[in-house]
Chain A
Amino acid sequence: MSNSPAPNKQWKISRIELETWLDEIAVARTLIAPRLVSGIFLYRHVTNSSEIAWSEEKSESPHTSRPILSSKEVFFPPTERLFTIQKSGQEIHLEENYPNWETVVFGVRPCDARGVKLLDAVFMDTIPVDSCFARRRGNTTLIGMACKELNSNCFCTSVGGAPDDAHDMDIMLYEADGEYLVEAVTEKGRFLIPGGEWKETSETPPKSTSNGQFPIPQKGKWLEHFNDDYWIKISERCLSCRACAYVCPTCRCFMVRDEMIQPGEFERIRCWDSCGGENYRRVAGGHKPRAEKGERLRNRFYCKFYYYPEQYGLNAESACTGCGRCIEVCPAGVDITEVLLDLEKSV
């Protein structure tokens, strides 16, 4: 199914129609949606719509809860098997394990969809194509839901996003007066819309409330302040716990290693990793670049706003989606918006 834009078509559906639709999807495909797992929200497999976590259960048209981890993990799982290795004497047999199932992710936030798009730049738009990521991406349809407003840590509007940005979705839903406005964004999304059953509408999607923007430092600022003591100062409270990287929709560093499944059978896996780790760049000879915490934290900010855009041809775009998860999760109060404002102010 192509990602090309669909003719601009919209429908208006009730909560019941939405649930019926999701139940039907869950029968034919793997449906992933925000779900309450041991007290936290995560994008997880749901077998029907009743398992989905809604943030305003009592409201007529509730929004889904925002998961603590972004939808990155649907396409780029925390741990993923690349292939299996069978060893018998001097014989070796390798077998790739491609994910091969049709998946629909429901309740995707605009910041998360933008994150997936930014990962495309690394894994699909830059040669060679990463076959595991590409396979998952091709098999997956994104159904987004517009945020009504920005919450206290959100700043998507400052990094080129918007709470109702439908760009990177296949289908976008907007809550409106007890009903949902459904917009088919791509052909792939249009394919999921049940024909004829829904009421078409030409209504304009409701606008979300957006609480302003702050300026993002441009390239010159980053170049100028690389050697500032500021990075050491700001990192004093950093614990190098790397939680910021794991919750980030666009942090994509990974490690690769082999694990034993049983004697004679192994798997090569890749796992999320982060430039915040002390031994992240240690080489076999013992040389350990970026040994200082400040250098590592600096690398994370520089990657988001300078390196990643430069390496993967994002032009002026940053690799930050403004979701604010890193602020939420940091136990030491490192706040990316504070860093951006400080850098912008600095002379």
Chain B
Amino acid sequence: MLPTLGKLVKVRDLADEIKLLRVELLDGRSEAFKTCQPGQFAFVSAFGLGEAPFGIANAAERGPEVDFAVARLGTVTTGLHELGEGDIVGVRGPLGNWFPMKKFQGKDLVILGGGIGGAPLRPVIQHVLEHRSNYGNLSILWAARRPDLLVFSDEYDEWRTAPNTTLFLTVDSPDEGWNHNVGLITQLLEKVSPSMENAITITCGPPIMIHFVTKMLQEKMGVPPKDNYVTLEARMHCGMGKCGRCNLGEKLVCVDGPVFNMEEVGKLLETFL
């Protein structure tokens, strides 16, 4: 359980109380992340306080540095927020399974991110943009409670201008000057209604959002459960299938997930809600 040391090479505000930490792994350990797949996660240590799991927020093609989006919510994340460029953190990973990007080739992708739930979806978007011709249409539905909680807003232009790529934004509470959608992501989804004929959907956000979005995709838009992907959050303390904390019924989110399709989720004894 010994982490690799990493240096913060970039720290920037991503949204209100959310920072992007870019880590350069030391001691030649960035090798381990070269084969990192979209959807995997890692533990980040604020030494002296502890460690917490975060979805890896960039694709390996955009490495060798590793990005993490950190919302200030608890002891470890507050500790990480207090660090600056040049400071040392610990990184343990990559861990968990990933989105089967090869299997998605030739398909349209509909990506639904809510709040900081967008972070583990960014490597999927980046991977598709890096290998654009391998995939069909890319629709990104991006939501947050308020405009200042939308993550990666400085990258929206890159996403919008990529071929066959569309970005839709929505917030619950708009501010002055907001000229995109207002309302829940489910309302946006209904309005946009992307073609689901040859599509894979990928959802990440708060559990309640995942619940309603995947339900709508399945029941109203005909997405088969096996093509309806989610990445789930769970409290974890080891990430290696030992500490027992993240079980959803007989599955462990850390080693059997965090990526599941709804067919798999449907078979679980316990719900993720």
Contacts of A223 in B (CB 8 A): 269
Q: How many residues in A have their beta carbons less than 8 Å from beta carbons of B?
A: 44
- Kindly state the separation between the CA atoms of A90 and B89 in the bound complex, as whole angstroms: 10
A30 contacts chain B at the CB level, 8 A cutoff: no
Question: For chain A, what secondary structure do more than half of its interface residues adopt (helix, strand, loop), or is it mixed?
Answer: mixed
* A307-B247 in contact given A268-B1, A283-B234, A284-B77 (Cβ < 8 Å): yes
Contacts of B272 in A (CB 8 A): 289
Most buried by B among A87, A299, A311: A311
**B: interface residue count bin:** 35 or more
Instruction: Tell me whether B47 and A311 are in contact (CB under 8 A).
Output: no
A23 to chain B, nearest CB (A): 37
Instruction: Tell me whether A307 and B250 are in contact (CB under 8 A).
Output: yes
Contacts of A126 in B (CB 8 A): 241-242
Contacts of B233 in A (CB 8 A): 283, 285, 287
- Kindly state the separation between the CA atoms of A298 and B119 in the bound complex, as whole angstroms: 33
Contacts of A252 in B (CB 8 A): 242, 244
- Kindly state the separation between the CA atoms of A101 and B108 in the bound complex, as whole angstroms: 58
A221 contacts chain B at the CB level, 8 A cutoff: no
A255 contacts chain B at the CB level, 8 A cutoff: yes
A187 contacts chain B at the CB level, 8 A cutoff: no
A280 contacts chain B at the CB level, 8 A cutoff: yes
User: Which residues of A236-271 have CB atoms within 8 Å of chain B's CB atoms?
Assistant: 252-258, 260, 266, 268, 270
A246 to chain B, nearest CB (A): 14
Q: Which residue of A lies closest to B47 (CB)?
A: A85
Contacts of B5 in A (CB 8 A): 92, 94
Q: Which residue of B lies closest to A133 (CB)?
A: B242
- Kindly state the separation between the CA atoms of A282 and B233 in the bound complex, as whole angstroms: 11
In the A-B complex, list the 10 residue pairs whose CB atoms are closest, starting with the nearest: A284-B73, A253-B244, A92-B88, A310-B250, A256-B237, A266-B48, A257-B50, A307-B250, A258-B50, A284-B74
B-to-A contact residues, CB < 8 Å:
1-3, 5, 47-52, 71, 73-74, 77, 86-88, 90, 206-207, 233-235, 237-238, 240-247, 249-252, 269-270, 272-273
Q: Can you show 27 pairs from A to B with CB atoms below 8 A apart?
A: A85-B48, A87-B48, A94-B5, A122-B242, A123-B242, A223-B269, A226-B269, A253-B243, A254-B237, A256-B1, A256-B238, A256-B243, A266-B48, A268-B51, A270-B237, A273-B237, A273-B243, A275-B245, A281-B235, A281-B246, A283-B233, A284-B71, A287-B233, A289-B272, A306-B269, A307-B247, A311-B251
Q: A252-B244, A283-B234 are in contact. List 19 more A-B contacts (CB 8 A).
A: A87-B47, A91-B88, A92-B90, A122-B241, A122-B242, A126-B241, A130-B240, A255-B237, A256-B238, A257-B50, A258-B49, A268-B51, A275-B245, A280-B245, A281-B234, A284-B77, A285-B71, A289-B207, A307-B250
